[in-house]
Amino acid sequence: MCLGSQARAANKAAMDNYNYKLEVRERKWMNELGLMKIQRVQHDQTMDAVHVGLGNQYAEIQEKYGDLIAQATQAQEDRFKKFATESTSDQLAAAGRTGASIRRMRTVDVGNFLAQGSRDAYKLTMARRDLSKAGAKAAAQAQQVRMNSFAQNNIIKSPDIAPPPPVLRNVGQAAFMDALSIGSSIMGIASGGIGIAADLKALRTSDRRLKENIKKIGESISGLGVYKFNYIGNAKKYIGAMADEVIKVVPEAAILGDDGFYSVDYALIDVTFKEA
C-alpha cells in the first residue's frame, strides 16, 4: 500500500475511533441525566412523605394530650360529686352536729379534694413534657431525612471531558513522497543509472508548505535565503533554500510536481542542501 493510501486509512481509523468515543460519552451522559431525573422524583416523594408523617405525628400527640385533659377533667368532676355527696363532715353537719371536730373534718375533706386535683395537674404537666419531647424527636428525625435526601440530590454533575480530536496525517505530503519515490525509480531505470541519477540526487523537496520550524540563517551570493528547517512529521533538521524564492531568482531550478508541491534542483543554484 502506498504512503498516501496508508495515511488516508490511518486518518479514517482515527476519526472512526474519535466518533465512537464521542457517541459513548453522549450515551453515558444521557443515562446519567435519566438517573438524575429519577433521583429528583424520589427526593420530592421523600419530602412529601416526611411532611405528611410529621404532620400525622403532631396530630397524634395533640390527640393524646387532649385525651389526658378530658380524662383529668372527668376525674375532677367525679371527685367533686363524691365530695359534695359523701363528705363525712357535711353528713354530720346535716345531722345537727357542730363544733371544732366537725370543722377539722371539713378542712381535711377539702384538703384531700384539692390535693388530688394538684396531683392530676402535675400528671398533666409531666405528660405534656413527654409529648413535647416526642414531638421534638420526630421533628429532628424528619429534618435528618430531609438533609440526607437533599445532600444526595445537591451534587452538580457534568459530562465526562470530551476526547481530544485525533492528529491526522498529511495525506498530501505522503502522496508527494510516493510520487517522488516512484519518479526516482522510473528515472533511475530509464537513464541507465548515471546522469539522471546524479540529477535526481540534486533534486530536493523544497516547498515551504511541507516544512516547519523554518529559520533563516544566511543568504547566498545570488540572493537566495539559506534556511534551517525540518519536514512536517520528521524531526531531522536540514539546511537549504525555499522553492518560492528559487522560482523568482532561478525559475528553471524550481520544478512543480503533479501533486502541486515544488522541488528544487540544487545543481542549478548556489545553495547547498544538507543535514543540519
130 and 215 co-located in one domain: no
In DSSP terms, which residues pair with 265 in a beta bridge?
Answer: 203
Residue finishing a domain among 136, 153, 170: 153
- The total number of structural domains in the chain stands at 2
Give me the phi and psi of 224, to 5 degrees please: -75, 140
7 and 128 co-located in one domain: yes
What are 220's three cell numbers? 547566498
117 and 206 co-located in one domain: no
So what's the pLDDT on residue 178? Answer: 58
Cross-sheet strand order for the sheet of 262-265: 203-205, 262-265, 254-256
In DSSP terms, which residues pair with 169 in a beta bridge?
Answer: none
89 and 215 co-located in one domain: no
20 and 129 co-located in one domain: yes
Residue type, 33: L
Contact 131/63 with Cβ under 8 angstroms? no
Asked, for residue 180, whether it belongs to a domain, the answer is no
Residue 228: which domain range? 202-275
Q: How far apart are CA 75 and CA 215, in angstroms?
A: 110
134 and 70 co-located in one domain: yes
103 and 207 co-located in one domain: no
pLDDT tens for the chain, 276 residues long, are 455 677 788 888 888 998 999 899 999 989 888 888 888 888 888 888 888 888 888 888 888 888 888 888 888 888 777 766 766 766 666 666 767 776 777 677 777 878 888 888 888 899 888 888 888 888 888 888 888 887 777 777 788 888 888 887 776 666 655 555 555 454 444 444 434 344 445 688 889 999 999 999 999 999 999 999 999 999 999 999 999 999 999 999 999 988 889 999 999 999 999 998
pTM for the whole structure:
0.40
Q: How far apart are CA 234 and CA 186, in angstroms?
A: 25
So what's the pLDDT on residue 193? Answer: 43
**Count of alpha carbons within 13 Å of 78, Cβ hemisphere only?**
8
Asked, for residue 160, whether it belongs to a domain, the answer is no
What are 265's three cell numbers? 534542483
245 and 126 co-located in one domain: no
